[in-house]
Structure 1
Amino acid sequence: MQVKIPARDIILEVETSTDDTFVRVENLASVTVNPASNEESADLTDFDSQGAYEQWIMQRGASLALAGQELKDDTTGALQPGRARVEALAGEDALAAASHGRIRFRHPMDTEWRIWTATFSLGERGGGTNDPSAWAATITKSGLTTTEAVV
């Protein structure tokens, strides 16, 4: 039987360092996967195409857009572990190789994690007079997707 999958059930984790330890990215209100982000194509149209556009995909890409409310510990100001790691990977000093981290994501019924090496960018924060402060990040895949069985 085919069933609909609630978007809110996605499980998204970020690697804490390079030791294969992942933590959940907490309190997300929206996760949008764009499998065509950074895709590049080559125009193959020529006189023999009979007026029809022709192309090859030469580069695949993908990204995840995350959104939620900004959360901090009311005593220490500390972020939750998953959010703190995303912010560290998106920090102004995270350049070149330090800008890369790994994520994995899946829905509960999936038998494999999708794993990306990726770069991280923070989005806009804030809001209006009566809004909770917004938090957003974009995770952009760098390299090929790998998979791993869910244990």
Structure 2
Amino acid sequence: MGRPIDARGWVFEVRDQSRAHRERWLPIENLTSWSHNASENEETAETTSFDSKGWFEQDVMQRGGVIEIEGQWALDTHTGQQAEGQAYVDQFWAQRLGIDSRNEIRYRHDSQDLWVIWEATVTPDEQSGETNDKTSWSASFTQCGRPRYEPVFPHCKERD
């Protein structure tokens, strides 16, 4: 029997396209909730005919997905600036239009050894707060094309 995994174990990162000379992924920090809708933007074609003998039939013609993440607006205590992953989404990616509006997001649970990588567009979502709240931060990522998968490589291995 399998064991449930903790929701807080999910990791989300965005590819930093501001530095074209090297691959760099930025973690999105201070998340408090997330959702993944694997059927968003799915389109089907009904294929029911007399041969179906009264049973509905369809073919999936298009797949899609959306990831929505929410958290607290995060401040890097060393630089005094917004945390790098959130700042990249807000100040760089979300400001791009047309063919430049696509970038990559990757995600996985810390118990998994594969990243799921989407080419996606981003929609910056609501930020808010009240007198005794922390400022919220959120964004939605819409999948563009087929996802790909890459192994997770640890930065260092423990020695025996």
Matches within 5 A, 1:107-126: 107-126=109-128
Shift of 1:102: 0.6
Once the two structures are overlaid, the 10-residue window that deviates more, 137-146 or 68-77, is 68-77
Q: Distance in 1 between matches of 2:43 and 2:114?
A: 27
SS at match of 2:26: strand
Q: Distance in 2 between matches of 1:98 and 1:43?
A: 35
When residues 42 and 77 of structure 1 are mapped into structure 2, their CA distance, relative to the original with a 3 A threshold, is: farther
SS at match of 2:121: strand
1:135 maps to which residue?
Answer: 137
2:47 maps to which residue?
Answer: 44
Matches within 5 A, 1:2-151: 2-17=2-17, 18=20, 19-72=22-75, 78-87=81-90, 88-91=92-95, 94-151=96-153
2:156 maps to which residue?
Answer: none
> What is the percent sequence identity of the aligned residues?
39
When residues 80 and 57 of structure 1 are mapped into structure 2, their CA distance, relative to the original with a 3 A threshold, is: same
Q: Distance in 2 between matches of 1:115 and 1:2?
A: 25
Task: Provide the TM-score with structure 1 as the length reference.
Answer: 0.87
SS at match of 1:90: helix
Shift of 1:23: 1.3
Q: Distance in 1 between matches of 2:47 and 2:130?
A: 48
Q: Distance in 2 between matches of 1:129 and 1:103?
A: 33
Q: Distance in 1 between matches of 2:65 and 2:104?
A: 14
Gaps of 5+ in 2: 154-160
Q: Deviations over 1:83-140 (max 9, x none)?
A: 011112112xx10122111111111121111011100001112144443332110001
Cα RMSD after superposing both structures: 2.1
Once the two structures are overlaid, the 10-residue window that deviates more, 30-39 or 68-77, is 68-77
SS at match of 1:53: coil
Shift of 1:68: 1.1
In the alignment of these two chains, the number of paired residues is 149
Shift of 1:74: 8.3
Q: Distance in 1 between matches of 2:108 and 2:45?
A: 31
SS at match of 1:85: helix
Q: Distance in 2 between matches of 1:137 and 1:103?
A: 12
